[in-house]
Amino acid sequence: MDNITVGNVLKNRYEIIAELGKGGMSTVYLAKDLKLESYWAVKRVRNDSSVDIEAFKMEVELLSSLNHSDIPRIVDRIEVDNYYFVIMDFIDGISLKRKVQTEGPQKEEDIVDWVKMLCDILIYLHTTKSNPIIYRDMKPDNIMLTQNGRVKLIDFGIAKECVRNEKQIGIGTKGYAAPEQYGGASNILDERTDIYSLGATIFYLATGERPANPPNGVKPAGSVNPYISEGLEYIIHKCTRDNPDERYNDCYELKDDLNNIEKMTGYYRSRMVKKLLSFGICMAICIISIIFTVVGHNGLEKKKKDNYLYYYNLAVASVRKGDLDSASQQYLKALSYDASEVGTYLEYFNSILPVDNDEKYDEKLESAINIMRNSYINNSKSEMYMNEELMYAVAKKCLELTDVGYISYAAEYIKILSEKNYKADDLLSYGIISENLSENFEEIDFESLYKALEELEDITDNKAMTIDDKLDNYYNIMKVYSRYPLYLSEQNGKITYSYEKIAEIGEKARLLIDENILSEEIEFKGIIKLHEMAASGLCSKVSYLDDNIEKYNAYKEAMLWFGYLYDYNAELDSTLQLKKANAYMGLYEYADGNNAIRDINNIDYAIDEYKKIALKDDSNFVAKVYLTEALLKKELAVKDREKDYTQVIQNYGLVEELYKTSKDKLSSAEITRYSALKQEMINAGLEVTE
């Protein structure tokens, strides 16, 4: 059963129809029951050292003991060879995470209905045994919405019956897990632990934004979605208090507030009105203000404009200081006084975009896009509802992500803009690009995609547009060539074409950046990523070159880009650092025939880079193989002293040890590289184990 495929039949009964997905330790399939003509989900787990099989069995036993209509049932268990198969209810639906990703924040009435159903599930879990079963992993990914509108809770992998007042090992999904799950003085988990996660889930459903990890916690939902009701915001706030004593005690209390959410909202509004009316002369002031409304209107408008300009100027000053967090807050305050300035929204959008050396760049970019889509473009109550200029800016940023859902947003917006005859020279090209990238791979028309990229490059080169727009266009073109290098190269008939285009367009962008780097006009944030793409592309190009002179020149050009990155103090990730080290080795190996002398210093530079990678990640097998190869090449190359293979043998021993412990996880390319190193050791007359 190592290679289970469509058509396999388990126990002469369950025919595998399709693979539904893979998790950390399991694979889930759709199967047809040949006896009952029904469909089941089949979860397969391998019984080996890489899997906590006991934890899996505990999950199965727990699910088998439960009986709730919104929790999957276990109907059969099968053991074949080294695998366990569990047959359970197949839930035909969509996860709430996917629903939010494709549609944005959900309607409040739907959220309330779903959460009440989830409360019923949690009440069952918390009361069905003498000690509560704490689910511990409530999040949108684990909640399925069925065709008939029911919600089902799936994946009980870390659910556990928790003895009251007994400390537990913390576990859960960051952002959704309660603070007590992260450790600290109190690791006591109870009903309130699941209530926290449910509150964080409500936050995501209402805002489209992932909750922050502790210690930042869950921010006020109204700061992300200003149109959320007071009642729901209060419920989220109470569920997600850091101190469990300040949360709802159980899901009965929470459900009671959900059932009375409209009354809660009215209560808060009335309380605010009472505060305003608490002054004895309030009514008189109101009457007087009506009389003087016309007289005072111009003064009020001037005051609003003054406030707008005050906060706007503060925001601009914060941008100049590099304090984007402060800038974003000031822009929002400015917009609260004048919500009609699209330029301010664009500047606010730019202030909340991540800088390009951020480790969580994609996650933060998604968050920024969601804020603009959900709070403004798609929000009929916003002054920027369906605003074309803002829509186009967001659409272009969506194309920076590889997630098909966000690319679909870009395609949708560009289609709307085309129908509205929005004036942008590059609109048609972006329309073709976004439509293709939002398709399944098999349906992409690479010929039309290639032509659109060429057209977009020509427009960017020759049409009048801002520096940032030019850089955005160059960056997006480079990203598409990086994503499908071989398929786009085929359109030109030259296998290295895409990598050459990446470097060529990167050079145009680099010159534009150099000319304007000191100018306040440039706000482009992808400078480092752009340089990384160019360096990486040139290194990848070498793999498709046959001529050593061309290889040498490609590596030499790549090293120029690595030099630019060094000037920016950019910290390379392990993959790019490995390419840099390989480039140094390439400069040494392919120097012959290039009127260049082999410089052994290049091997030393490569060795330093490989060591940095291994230091960051001791399990990086490839880096250790390359390091050993470089050390061996250096010893073979030295002529002014006696050869010393001590370091080579020592590092080869580490490679062998890592190979033995992780052989099953290595790719065929990694195994091939290891075999080549082994042969090099033998050729050098060094002993290796068979």
pLDDT at 283: 47
Q: What pLDDT digit, counting tens, does each position of 95-139 carry? A: 999 888 878 888 899 999 999 999 999 999 999 888 899 998 899
Q: Mean pLDDT across the stretch 537-548?
A: 93
pLDDT at 267: 43
pLDDT at 545: 93
For the ranges 42-46, 453-457, 470-474, 574-578, the lowest mean pLDDT is seen at: 42-46
Per the prediction, the chain carries an average pLDDT of 86
Rg (CA), the chain: 30
Contact 207, 221 (CB under 8 A): yes
Highest mean pLDDT among 82-91, 551-560, 585-594: 551-560
pLDDT of residue 296 exceeding 80, the answer is: no
Sequence-ordered strand ranges (E) for 200-269: none
Percent of the chain having pLDDT more than 90?
A: 52
pLDDT at 216: 65
Q: Return phi, psi of residue 156, to 5°.
A: -95, 30
For residue 506, give Cα distances in angstroms to 475, 519, 536, 565: 8, 20, 11, 13
The one-letter amino acid at 110? D
Contact 85, 205 (CB under 8 A): no
pLDDT at 270: 46
Q: Number of C-alpha atoms within 13 angstroms, CB side, residue 12?
A: 0
Q: What is the distance between the alpha carbons of residues 635 and 648, in angstroms, rounded to a whole number?
A: 9
pLDDT of residue 271 exceeding 60, the answer is: no
pLDDT band at 501 (very low <50, low <70, confident <90, very high): very high
pLDDT at 48: 66
Contact 17, 32 (CB under 8 A): yes
pTM for the complete prediction? 0.58
pLDDT of residue 285 exceeding 70, the answer is: no
Q: Mean pLDDT across the stretch 439-459?
A: 94
Q: Mean pLDDT across the stretch 215-238?
A: 84
pLDDT band at 274 (very low <50, low <70, confident <90, very high): very low
Q: Measuring CA to CA, which residue among 571, 561, 515, 578 is closest to residue 356?
A: 571
Q: Mean pLDDT across the stretch 11-40?
A: 85
Those residues whose C-beta lies under 8 Å from the C-beta of residue 156, and which sit 6 or more positions away, are 59, 62, 63, 71, 135
For the ranges 32-36, 217-221, 516-520, the lowest mean pLDDT is seen at: 516-520
The string of DSSP codes covering 583-637 is HHHHHHHT-TTTT----THHHHHHHHHHHHHHHH-TT-HHHHHHHHHHHHHHHHH
Those residues whose C-beta lies under 8 Å from the C-beta of residue 384, and which sit 6 or more positions away, are 339, 342, 345, 376, 377, 390
Sequence-ordered strand ranges (E) for 227-370: none
3-state secondary structure of 118: helix
Separate counts of helices (H) and strands (E) for the chain: 26, 11
User: Which letter does DSSP use for residue 167 in this model?
Assistant: B
pLDDT of residue 218 exceeding 80, the answer is: yes
Hunting for tokens 């706007």 — which residue is that?
Answer: 312
pLDDT at 280: 43
pLDDT at 473: 95
Q: Measuring CA to CA, which residue among 138, 177, 153, 185 is closest to residue 72?
A: 153
Contact 357, 526 (CB under 8 A): no
